[in-house]
Structures are given as structure tokens and as C-alpha cells.
Amino acid sequence: ARSDIDHFSYQDTKYECQRRTPLNHHNKKFTEAFEILEKHASYIDREHGESRALAFRKASCALKSYPREITRIDEISKITHVGEHSLRVITDILENGYSEEVQDIISCEMFHVIELFTGIYGCGPSTAHKWYSLGHRTTQDIKDNAEILNLNVQQKYGVEFYDDLNAPVDMPDALRIQRLVVEQLDLIQPSCSAEIVGGFGRGKQCGHDIDILISHPEEDKVEGLLVKLVNRLTTLGCMLHTALSVGKNVVRKETFVKTKATQTRSTMDNLDRCFAIMKVEKSATDNDSCNSWIARRVDLIITPSSQYAFSLLGWIGSKQFNRSLRLYAWKEMKIHLNSHGMWDHKLTPPKRILATDEEEIFKALHLDFVERKDRNC
Ligand code: DCP
Ligand code: MG
């Protein structure tokens, strides 16, 4: 067996942020199988689910980065993150054209019902399991039993607009929302920027929601902006549901003090933010129903200019790219990185490192710049 990893330009590293992960890659037949295994692990295996799901995700990321189609098992058997279990799955697909383990999952009713229920806005795996164990199988079952199940507000909207919210959002929809947001911002506070981030920012043609990052060149001009914006959009009748999180951005100049909230939800930030379900005008091609609008999930995030580069990097994603970047920053550089900024903990007290664009952040971390389209891990 070959011990050297030469595979053209593949860089074998434990951090996804050190290599390119494009949207269109050469190993979809394997990564699609891993996505099912990942979901199955997080839905079904309550005890070790998260770590098993992460292992499949990392194997999948490695294959997405691999610069050509894998045709022999020995070419990837030494790659970091492609463990024994993943190798078995790849071998099955190479030898038989499919993985029996994946086929078993696909033919399992429970898997499909949990998948269906977790597709309801506001429903996670544990709620999905509860509903399943009570004998429910369809979204109609949940709708019919809304009272008994004591659905929270999000879940009520999730069921009500299930079809709309599960129809993929496309770029024209995203642009329509961005335009509306920009128009309203101009009336409240001229010169604001509103950038489409999330999956669309990485070149995806469709996604599950629209993420918009809002800022202003002057630091304090964003204070109170979110409430004003949401109020205007509500008055215009564009908001079906909103959940605001405002005023938690407590970054001090020198150090970032981790609060309980930031410790437990380490990937989330404390930027002013509104999760919304908005009414979006349908395009001319969507004439298949009587409604002139469709419900869409929209995230509006506000960031002051001094934090812009960090918020942009964080909200462009992907989640796995962020996770690896933050882990790399901490483990290799003793730098704490999040959507607010970065702090060098090699110094006491930790020193804030400033950056005005994404390139400067990569440079400070001694990393080659990874284009947004190559952060699709
Ligand atoms: N994000 C994160 N950690 C979270 C949630 C979000 O780092 N727990 C960042 C990375 C995501 C971005 O925010 O890429 C947007 O979140 P989405 O859930 O909307 O993810 P995407 O936009 O990447 O995917 P989709 O196209 O399905 O909306
Ligand atoms: Mg998104």
C-alpha cells in the first residue's frame, strides 16, 4: 500500500479551513450517502449521535475537497477523517454501487418521519421523537393535534407554512428581499449596507432561508436600527412572524468576556438579529397557487462596522468551515475568533486584533485565503 498522500492538490489536514471545498465536487455518490448517515446518527442515536454525525460530516468534507472522483479505496485509506466506518461505506459503494447500511436507513419509516418533523420550523430531533412516539406520522397529524401537543409559536408557524418554508429559496427571492430591506433602510438610515450572506454568499443557487447582514460605515449608526427596520417591515405587512434578539452585543474593546450563553452555544453570536418569516411576492413563474406571495425564512443580522469583517466571515459560513476555522485559531494560534472579533490569548491580558476585511483575518491566522465559493464544507 502507498503511504504517501500525493492525490494531486489534495491537502490532508485536520482543519477544513486549510483546503478548498467547492460546491460542485467529484464524489457526490459518496457524500450523499454520508449525509444520510450523518442525519441518521443525529436523529436516532441519542447518546453518541452528535460525535458520530460529526465524524461522517468530516469524512464527507474530505471527499468534497478531493480533486477527482475516487475509484479505488487505497487512494483515500490514509486520509485524515476518513475512518474505518466511512471506508466501509465507500468500499460498498465502489464494489456494489450502493451501501446496504444507507439502503436500510432509507427504508426505515422512523427515519423519514423524524426527517419530516425536523423540517418543521422550531422542531428539533427530540421533539420529533416525542411526536413520533405518540403515533404521529404526518404534518397534518401535528396540525390536527396542535392543542394537545402544546405547539410553541414557531412550531405553529412551521406547520401552518410547512410547504412554503420547505420549498427551496432561490436567488431571485433572495434579491427581492434584499431590495425590500435596502429600500426601507434608506428611509431609516441612509448609507446602510445589506449583504446577502449564508449559502447564497458561497455560490449556492438555492437554500433554506435568506440571510442578510446589515451595517453602516459609522460605528454607532446601527444602534436601534433593527427594531426600526422590523417595525417598518411589519407596518408594510411583510412580516408573518418575528423573533428578535437585541442588545446582547457586549464586546468590550480589549477582551471578549464569554457569558454563559456564548459558552453553551459557541457557534452563535450576540449580534442584534431577527429571525423572521416574511411574505415574499411570487415571481411570474410561480403561478401554481392562488396566493400572490410565499412565506420565506429570513435572518436579518446587524453588525457595527468595527466587527463587520468578522460577522461577514461568520455568516458566510459554512457552519463546518467556521467550526474548523475557530478550532484552528484556538488550537494552533491561541486566538479566540468569533463573529465579533478576534483576541490573541498568547498575551495577558488578551489583545484584540482588528481586521477590516476577510483577507486580513486569514492573514492574522497565517492561513491561505479561502474564497467564499470554496467554503462549502
Ligand atoms: N452559522 C453558524 N453557526 C450556526 C448558525 C449559523 O456558524 N449555529 C453561520 C454559518 C452559516 C450561516 O450562519 O453558513 C447561515 O446559517 P444558515 O443556517 O442559514 O446556513 P446556510 O445559509 O449556510 O445554509 P442554507 O443555504 O441552507 O440556508
Ligand atoms: Mg441560509
pLDDT digits (tens, 9 = 90+) for 325-363: 999 999 999 999 999 999 999 999 999 999 999 999 999
Phi, psi (rounded to 5 degrees) for 82: -95, 90
CA–CA separation, 337 vs 346, rounded Å? Answer: 13
Ligand 1, closest atom to CA 339? 7
Ligand 1, closest atom to CA 318? 14
**Cβ–ligand 1 contact at 87 (below 6 Å):** no
Instruction: Name the residue at shortest CA distance from atom 1 of ligand 1.
Output: 319
Give, for ligand 1, the residue of 213, 319, 324, 370 to mutate: max count of ligand atoms closer than 8 Å to Cβ: 319
Residue 44 has pLDDT above 90, yes or no: no
**Cβ–ligand 1 contact at 189 (below 6 Å):** no
- Tell me the average pLDDT across 237-247: 93
Q: What would the pLDDT profile of 270-325 be if each residue is shown by its tens digit?
A: 999 999 999 998 876 665 667 889 999 999 999 999 999 999 999 999 999 999 99
Residues belonging to the active site: 209, 211, 299
What distance in angstroms lies between residue 300's CA and the mean position of ligand 2's atoms?
11
Ligand nearest to the CA of 315: 1
**Cβ–ligand 1 contact at 199 (below 6 Å):** yes
What distance in angstroms lies between residue 207's CA and the mean position of ligand 2's atoms?
6
Residue 89 has pLDDT above 80, yes or no: yes
pLDDT the model gives residue 267: 56
Check if the beta carbon of residue 90 is closer than 8 Å to that of residue 77.
no
Give, for ligand 1, the residue of 16, 211, 266, 301 to mutate: max count of ligand atoms closer than 8 Å to Cβ: 211
What distance in angstroms lies between residue 5's CA and the mean position of ligand 1's atoms?
32
Residues 6+ apart with CB under 8 A from 123: 117, 131, 155, 158
User: Taking the mean position of all CA atoms in its chain, how far away is CA 49?
Assistant: 19
Check if the beta carbon of residue 330 is closer than 8 Å to that of residue 336.
yes
% of the chain residues with pLDDT over 70: 91
* SS3 readout for the chain: CCCCCCCCCCCCCCCHHHCCECCCCCCHHHHHHHHHHHHHHHHHCCCCHHHHHHHHHHHHHHHHHCCCCCCCHHHCCCCCCCCHHHHHHHHHHHHHCCCHHHHHHHCCHHHHHHHHHHCCCCCCHHHHHHHHHCCCCCHHHHHHCHHHHCCCHHHHHHHHCHHHHHCCEEHHHHHHHHHHHHHHHHHHCCCCEEEEEHHHHCCCCEECCEEEEEECCCHHHHCCHHHHHHHHHHHCCCEEEEEEECCCCCCCCCCCCCCHHHHHCCCCCCCEEEEEEEEEECCCCCCCCCCCEEEEEEEEEECCHHHHHHHHHHHHCCHHHHHHHHHHHHHHHCEEECCCCEEECCCCCCEEECCCCHHHHHHHCCCCCCCHHHECC
Closest C-alpha to 376, from 326, 315, 324, 318? 318
pLDDT the model gives residue 266: 47
**Cβ–ligand 1 contact at 204 (below 6 Å):** yes
- Tell me the average pLDDT across 166-177: 96
Closest C-alpha to 165, from 205, 109, 204, 118? 118
Query: Regarding predicted confidence, which is higher, 281 or 370?
Result: 370
What distance in angstroms lies between residue 56's CA and the mean position of ligand 2's atoms?
22
Ion ligand 2 residue ranges (Cβ < 5 Å): 198-199, 207, 209, 211
